[in-house]
């Protein structure tokens, strides 16, 4: 009996080795099978996007192809986990010559994926039609930059975003601050915080810091401040070390968290960002630096994670000022940071032309309009579409028209995530009481280890 | 009833009460939050809504993923138990060269394979063997990782069972396989059950390997689905998480109750010397 | 191992140089024994030894998940190990791991597991089943669920513990991150030790305990002179396994994410952060190798300690 069991097990093992995994490819006849993947899943993370692809894009695209006499079958491969885990899975797939035909990646991964050979220039994978896609003319230069690496287009951008200062108008009213507040320097932010504090607001200012919030600390914290002080993490191929701009940015952290204007504990908790959302919605936070996601997905009265019924009346927003007028990057008065996702054709795709057609279809005006219907509005990459769908969306219009022209992007290179962690650690140190100069010096030391020596750091 | 005895009793029950509290209090959230309309991390008296359960039932992947968890964990547990029992028995009764050193080395190596750093080798191995997107492939990989510890525990168990039964069975002309089946297995059954539950619990909670090796969401287990119950910005959907968490826990609890009732649930059970 | 597990009397019976297994009760013979072991060994070779050796090799390269080093990894010799040794984060993690293993496994799980097993040793009935059931429940629940339970327990604002103690706003996970994860892991893992000691105590002949009691031995003396010698092998097995598991336990990540500011970043969490979040797989593999070496030292230490002390 036991022998038989062993035999069964061994046979099963053999079978497993021989028979499994003939999952993709292999269409019969001239049916073209395509797969498309996003970090989205019905009933979970980014459910709306998953539903849109499954219920609108796929049937419409298949029908359009059929009308052209082509038999195309498209399958959506959902994911919906942590971005880092999605990235890991995607990397492993792409490395092994697998993965869906059309894939979504975060714009910040473009450089490292390109360096690794996981993604290739669209012109090489697809052909000239990728360069001559009619949508490019509708996409602003800066947004195209998200999908560009070393002068070549690797993907189509599928959207962008921007950061602003949100504030609670009720709390502002009590503190004697204007409802149309627009600070012009960091000092004015501090002044507003001080007034809020004396009027009894528990957390006058929340600017993300520390490692617990991860990339949120960089994007909604140290990077916009760095830009406001005239600095960038990387400029002309050289990394910025313990520059004056970084010291200034860290100095603002010290003023806020050392001066009782922010809650240092909130920066350390593993779920601190969620808490900051909750507290803003409960009227405990006066000023909060966040992206447009905060408006769309957090305080959204309809389906936000911390809904505010009176969002439209009670939540104000302002541009992030430079340390002093004219002292931001490029001599700007105001600054912001932007990111955005990309969609591209897997270099391993058996049908790159059709895959690109599918990709372009998801970014056609009609698809973008459909996707952003029913309160699911976001800033699309296309100006022609944005004009139409952002009407009646004051915040998104504000970001699209006022913020995007002055925004900045992160360097799309493989070591950026580590540099970002080092920056987060610098903010954590300052919140914990280290002097900004010391934290900046420590950052420079770490940076040297990450980017391969002092030679790659601008002096 | 000496005063000392009374004091002892009081001490005993106090200690038991503290232990019960320690092990119960963390569980409170799991039994209240799913029945609360808008659960937070606070443990509150629920308003006994069934909406959260309805949401889970309507979720396209939630309930099927529990089935997948079952397939993966039971499949792995079966393989682990059968293979580990045979190996442990042989290692316990026959001195094979380098036996102990081999076992220790494997046990130590098994620790590296459960770490994050092993994901690339395991993934590429699965690609080469065409085991990607195959539940069976995943079962084999998980089994490989659990076997050393299982053999290690079961060998202890086998070592402590008396050999006299086997000797007498042999006198009656039973073959070694018959002896294993009819003499050894009944003796060590609680141990086998324990190893099975241990293996199931291990696989039941495993996220990273199933996520990396199974692309098809229809094959993915509950651990993976649990990690998708978040919003775009990474906020936990506590309604879904608490409710699905409860449903996700129930099968392992039922399995424990079943196993402990049917086989007993301990290591060197039954044998008194 | 077998010798350590067996009761001392058996060991004493054994004449030096004589192999007690040569009798081979089941008449298995080496060949059949080999056949019994083969399926397990095959799977282990394919899915454990081979990838594990691969990890050891990766530790000698600058391999990364993405970027240029993903396309063409270079052999860098011991650079990763030297980097780790020069890295204060690594030493911080090592020290925290030592605290974590000592606190939650060697002290927490062993002491609590033994205490429960000892308290319930002569009991039958619902109370025993209830206690054991709850302890085992903590052990078998999926970690994704358990992490939420503990966040709900220790949360600063709405947490159950603060509500019970009447200290709202006390940040357990921030002010005492190590204590939190040590207690968490004690809660989580005690079942294994409890079951093992429960079984071990069943092997202690009641007559020995009885005579010790009649001779006027105190409770502690009974434990030391009668119980301990009988269960030494079980203690060894237990310590080995739970230390190994705790060294590699990644679940503190779900509670504190290694924070605040790395104050609960045990080695397994460190590897996760390095390998998965930063994509430095070569370095992560090297740290995994170091964990393996530490485990080796710990295992040898336990074997020495419990074998010699006779």
pLDDT tens-digit readout, B89-139:
998 888 877 888 888 889 888 888 877 888 889 999 999 999 999 999 999
B104 CB within 8 Å of a chain A CB? no
Cα dihedral sign, C19-C20-C21-C22: positive
Query: In chain C, which residues have their Cβ closer than 8 Å to the Cβ of A417?
Result: 277-279
Give the three-state DSSP class for A97: coil
Question: Counting beta carbons within 10 angstroms of the beta carbon of residue B205, is it exposed (0 to 12), middle (13 to 18) or buried (19 or more)?
Answer: buried
What's the CA gap between C84 and A301, in Å, rounded? 49
Give, in order, the Cα–Cα distances in Å from A441 to each of A422, B147, B246, C232, C240.
Answer: 11, 49, 49, 54, 44
Task: Name chain B contacts of C247, Cβ cutoff 8 Å.
Answer: 111
Q: Which of A42, A79, A297 sits opposite B60 (nearest CB)?
A: A42
User: Nearest by CB to A268, which of C35, C71, C174?
Assistant: C174
* A21 pLDDT above the threshold of 60: no
CB contact under 8 Å between C40 and B84, yes or no, is: yes
Q: Is the CB of residue C141 less than 8 Å from the CB of residue C219?
A: no
User: Cβ of A1 under 8 Å from any chain B Cβ?
Assistant: yes
Q: Which residue has the higher pLDDT, A459 or B179?
A: B179
* Window 45-64 of B, Cβ < 8 Å to C: none
Contact predicate A159/A379, CB 8 Å: yes
Q: Give residues 30 to 89 of C whose Cβ lies within 8 Å of B.
A: 30, 32-34, 36-37, 39-41, 43-44, 46-52, 54-56, 58-59, 63, 65
* pLDDT score for A82: 86
The alpha carbon torsion through C276, C280, C282, C285 (nearest 10 deg) reads -30
| Per-residue pLDDT at A25 | 42
The shortest C-alpha distance from A87 to chain C (Å) reads 9
Binned at pLDDT 50, 70 and 90, residue A374 comes out as confident
Name the helix (H) or strand (E) containing A290. Answer: strand A285-291
Low-confidence ranges of chain C (pLDDT < 50): 1-22, 309-310
* Number of Cβ within a 10 Å radius of residue A331: 10
Chain B partners of A23 at a C-beta cutoff of 8 Å?
Answer: 132-133, 215-216
Verify whether the Cβ–Cβ distance B211 to A81 is below 8 Å.
Answer: yes
Q: Do C202 and B100 touch (CB under 8 A)?
A: no
Chain B residues close to A79, C-beta within 8 Å:
217, 228
Q: Tell me, what's the pLDDT at C308?
A: 59
Are the CB atoms for B89 and B187 separated by under 8 Å? no
Give pairs for A382-389: CB < 8 Å, separation 24+: A382/A135, A382/A138, A382/A139, A383/A138, A383/A139, A383/A140, A384/A138, A385/A138
Instruction: Tell me which residues of chain B, numbers 16 to 45, contact chain C at a CB-CB cutoff of 8 Å.
Output: 16, 19-20, 22-30, 33, 40-43
Q: How far is A321 from chain C (nearest CA, A)?
A: 29
Query: Closest Cα of chain A to B179: distance in Å?
Result: 10
pLDDT confidence bin for A171, thresholds 50/70/90: very high
In this structure, chain B runs to a length of 273
Chains touching chain B at 3 or more Cβ pairs under 8 angstroms?
A, C
Q: Mutate which of A41, A83, A95, A302 to test chain B, going by most B C-beta atoms within 10 A?
A: A41
Strongest mean pLDDT among A220-224, A264-268, B178-182, C28-32? A220-224
- The answer to whether the beta carbons of residues A333 and A230 sit under 8 Å apart is no
The region of weakest confidence among A222-231, A356-365, A434-443, C27-36 is: C27-36
CB contact, 8 Å: B263 with chain A? no
Per-residue pLDDT at A23 exceeds 50: no
Burial class (CB in 10 A: 0-12, 13-18, 19+), C126: exposed
Is the pLDDT at A413 greater than 90, yes or no? Answer: no
**Cβ–Cβ of C145/B119 closer than 8 Å?**
no
Write phi, then psi, for A317 (nearest 5 degrees): -145, 150
**Domains plus CATH for chain A?**
2-161+339-409 (3.40.190.10), 163-337+412-458 (3.40.190.10)
Enclosing H/E stretch for A148: strand A148-149
Provide the pLDDT for residue B246: 94
Q: Which of A361, A205, B121, B43 lies closest to C56, judged by CA?
A: B121
Does any CB of chain A come closer than 8 Å to the CB of residue B140? yes
- Give the C-alpha distances (Å, rounded to integers) separating A347 from A398, B122, B123: 37, 23, 20
Using CB atoms within 10 Å of the CB of residue A44, give its burial: 0 to 12 exposed, 13 to 18 middle, 19+ buried: buried
Bond preceding residue C260 cis, omega within 30 of 0? yes
- Alpha-carbon gap: A277 to the closest alpha carbon of chain B (Å): 10
Interface membership of B77 toward A (CB under 8 Å): no
Chain C residues within an 8 Å CB radius of B114 = 248
Higher-confidence position of A186 and B169: A186
**Residue numbers in B near C144 (CB within 8 A):** 205, 207, 223, 226-227, 245, 248
Using a CB–CB cut-off of 8 Å, the residues of A that contact C are 6, 9-10, 13, 84-85, 87-88, 91, 95, 109, 111-113, 115-118, 210-212, 265, 268-271, 275, 413-415, 417-418, 421, 425, 428-429, 432
Residue of chain C minimizing CA distance to B83: C40
Q: Which of residues 80-109 of A touch B (CB under 8 A)?
A: 80-82, 85, 88-89, 92-93, 95-96, 98
C178 touches chain B (CB under 8 A): no
Instruction: Please list every residue in chain A whose beta carbon sits closer than 8 Å to the beta carbon of residue B228.
Output: 41, 43-45, 79-81
Kindly list the residues from chain A whose CB atom is less than 8 angstroms away from the CB atom of residue C259. 210-212, 268-270
Q: Give me the DSSP letters along A149-213.
A: ETTEE-SEE-----EEEEEEHHHHHHTT--TT---SSHHHHHHHHHHHHHTT-SEEEE---SSTT
Q: Does B168 touch chain A (CB under 8 A)?
A: no
pLDDT beneath 50, residues of chain B: 269-273
Q: What is the mean pLDDT of residues A382-406?
A: 92
Task: Work out the average pLDDT over A26-46.
Answer: 83
Task: Check CB contact under 8 Å for C48 and B184.
Answer: no
Chosen for mutation from B115, B151, B187, B258 (greatest number of chain C CBs closer than 10 Å) is B115
Average pLDDT of the segment spanning A58-77: 94
More confident residue, A433 or B175: A433
| B188 and chain C in contact, CB less than 8 A | no
Measured in degrees and rounded to the nearest 5, phi and psi for residue A36 equal: -135, 135
Cβ within 8 Å of residue A132, ≥6 positions away: none
The answer to whether residue A418 scores a pLDDT higher than 90 is no
Residues in Cβ contact with C167 at an 8 Å cutoff, skipping those fewer than 6 apart = none
pLDDT at A50: 93
Contact A270, C259 (CB under 8 A): yes
DSSP track, chain C: -HHHHS-HHHHHHSPTT--GGGG-TT--HHHHHHHHHHHHHHHHIIIIIHHHHHHHHHTTB---SSSHHHHS--B-TTHHHHHHHH-HHHHHHHHHHHHHIIIIIIIIIHHHHHHHHHHTTT--SHHHHHHHHHHHHHHHS-HHHHHHHHHHHH-TTT-HHHHHHT-TT--HHHHSHHHHHHHHHHHHHHHHHHHHHHHHHHTS-HHHHHHHHHTT--HHHHIIIIIHHHHHHHHHHHHHHHHHHHHT--THHHHHTT-STTTT--HHHHHHIIIIIS--HHHHHHHHHHHHHHHHHHHHHHHHHHHH--
Mean pLDDT (chain A, rounded): 89
């Amino acid at each position: 009996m036991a022998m038989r069991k062993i035999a069964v097990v061994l046979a099963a093992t053999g079978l497993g080795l021989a028979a499994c995994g003939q999952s993709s490819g292999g269409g019969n006849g001239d049916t073209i099978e395509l797969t498309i993947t996003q970090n989205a899943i019905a009933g979970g993370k980014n459910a709306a996007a998953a539903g849109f692809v499954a219920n609108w894009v796929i049937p419409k695209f298949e029908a359009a192809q059929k009308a052209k006499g082509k038999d195309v079958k498209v399958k959506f491969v959902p994911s919906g986990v942590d971005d880092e885990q999605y990235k890991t899975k995607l990397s492993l797939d792409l490395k092994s010559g697998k993965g869906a035909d059309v894939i979504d990646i975060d714009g910040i991964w473009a450089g490292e994926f390109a360096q690794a050979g996981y993604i290739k220039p669209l012109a090489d994978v697809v052909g000239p039609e990728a360069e001559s896609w009619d949508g490019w003319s509708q996409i602003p230069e800066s947004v195209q930059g998200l999908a560009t690496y070393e002068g070549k287009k690797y993907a189509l951008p599928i959207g962008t975003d921007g950061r602003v200062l949100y504030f609670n108008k009720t709390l502002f009213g009590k503190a004697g601050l204007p409802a149309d507040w627009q600070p012009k320097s960091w000092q004015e932010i501090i002044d507003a915080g001080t007034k809020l504090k004396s009027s009894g607001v528990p957390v006058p200012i929340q600017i993300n810091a520390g490692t617990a919030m991860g990339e949120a600390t960089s994007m909604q914290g140290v990077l916009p401040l760095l830009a406001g002080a005239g600095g960038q993490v990387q400029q002309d191929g050289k990394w910025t070390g313990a520059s004056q701009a970084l010291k200034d940015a860290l100095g603002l952290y010290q003023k806020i968290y050392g001066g009782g204007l922010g809650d240092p504990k909130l920066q350390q908790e593993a779920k601190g960002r969620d808490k900051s959302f909750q507290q803003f919605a409960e009227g405990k936070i006066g000023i909060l630096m966040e992206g447009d996601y905060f408006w769309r997905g957090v305080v959204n009265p309809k389906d936000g994670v911390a809904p505010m019924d009176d969002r439209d009346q009670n939540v104000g927003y302002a541009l992030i000022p430079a340390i002093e007028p004219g002292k931001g990057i490029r001599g700007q008065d105001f600054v912001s940071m932007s990111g955005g996702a990309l969609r591209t054709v897997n270099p391993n795709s058996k049908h790159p032309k059709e895959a690109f057609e599918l990709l372009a279809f998801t970014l056609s005006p009609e698809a973008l309009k459909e996707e952003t219907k029913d309160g699911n509005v976001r800033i699309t990459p296309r100006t022609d579409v944005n004009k139409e769908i952002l009407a009646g969306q004051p915040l998104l219009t504000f970001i699209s028209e006022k913020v995007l022209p002055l925004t900045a992007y992160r360097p799309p290179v493989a070591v950026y995530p580590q540099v970002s962690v080092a920056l987060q650690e610098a903010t954590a140190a300052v919140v914990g009481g280290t002097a900004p100069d010391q934290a900046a010096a420590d950052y420079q030391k770490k940076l040297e280890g990450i980017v391969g020596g002092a030679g790659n750091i601008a002096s | 009833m000496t005063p000392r005895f009374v004091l002892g009793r009081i001490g005993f029950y106090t200690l038991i009460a503290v232990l019960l509290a320690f092990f119960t209090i963390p569980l409170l959230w799991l039994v209240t939050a799913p029945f609360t309309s808008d659960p937070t991390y606070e443990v509150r008296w629920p308003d006994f809504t069934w909406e959260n359960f309805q949401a889970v039932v309507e979720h396209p992947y939630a309930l099927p993923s529990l089935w997948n968890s079952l397939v993966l964990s039971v499949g792995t547990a079966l393989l682990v138990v059968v293979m580990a029992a045979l190996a442990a028995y042989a290692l316990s009764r026959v001195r094979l060269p380098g036996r102990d050193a081999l076992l220790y080395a494997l046990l130590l190596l098994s620790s590296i394979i459960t770490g994050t750093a092993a994901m690339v080798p395991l993934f590429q191995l699965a690609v080469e063997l065409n085991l990607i997107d195959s539940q069976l492939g995943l079962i084999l990989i998980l089994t490989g990782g659990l076997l050393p510890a299982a053999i290690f525990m079961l060998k202890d168990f086998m070592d402590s069972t008396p050999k006299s039964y086997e000797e007498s069975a042999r006198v009656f002309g039973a073959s070694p396989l018959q002896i294993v089946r009819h003499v050894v297995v009944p003796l060590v059954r609680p141990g086998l059950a324990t190893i099975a539950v241990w293996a199931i619990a291990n696989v039941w909670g495993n996220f990273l390997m199933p996520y990396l090796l199974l692309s098809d969401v229809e094959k993915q287990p509950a651990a993976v689905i649990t990690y998708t119950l978040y919003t775009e910005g990474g906020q936990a959907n506590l309604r879904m998480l608490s409710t699905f968490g409860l449903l996700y826990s129930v099968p392992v609890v039922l399995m424990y109750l079943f196993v402990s009732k049917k086989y007993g649930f301990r290591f060197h059970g039954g044998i008194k010397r | 191992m077998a010798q350590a597990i067996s009761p001392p009397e058996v060991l004493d019976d054994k004449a030096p140089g004589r192999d007690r297994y040569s009798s081979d009760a089941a008449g298995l013979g080496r060949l059949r024994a080999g056949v019994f072991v083969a399926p397990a060994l095959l799977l282990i070779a394919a899915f454990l030894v081979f990838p594990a050796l691969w990890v050891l090799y990766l530790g000698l390269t600058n391999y990364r998940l993405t970027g240029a080093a993903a396309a063409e990894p270079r052999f860098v010799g011991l650079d990763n190990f030297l980097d780790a040794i020069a890295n204060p984060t690594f030493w911080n993690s090592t020290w925290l791991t030592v605290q974590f293993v000592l606190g939650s496994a060697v002290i927490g799980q062993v002491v609590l597991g033994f205490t429960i097993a000892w308290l319930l040793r002569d009991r039958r009935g619902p109370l025993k089943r209830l206690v054991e059931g709850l302890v085992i429940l903590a052990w078998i629940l999926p970690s994704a669920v358990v992490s939420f339970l503990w966040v709900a327990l220790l949360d600063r604002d709405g947490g159950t513990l603060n509500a019970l103690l009447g200290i709202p706003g006390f940040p357990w996970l921030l002010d005492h991150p190590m204590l939190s994860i040590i207690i968490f892991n004690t809660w989580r893992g005690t079942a294994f030790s409890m079951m093992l000691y429960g079984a071990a105590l069943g092997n202690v002949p009641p007559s020995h305990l009885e005579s010790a009691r009649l001779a006027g031995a105190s409770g502690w003396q009974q434990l030391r002179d009668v119980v301990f010698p009988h269960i030494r092998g079980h203690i060894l097995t237990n310590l080995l396994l739970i230390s190994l598991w705790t060294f590699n336990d990644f679940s503190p990540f779900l509670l504190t994410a290694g924070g605040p500011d790395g104050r609960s970043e045990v080695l397994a969490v460190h590897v996760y952060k390095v390998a998965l979040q930063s994509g430095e797989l070569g370095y992560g593999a090297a740290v995994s190798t170091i964990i393996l070496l530490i485990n080796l030292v710990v295992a040898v230490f336990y074997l020495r300690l419990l074998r010699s002390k006779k």
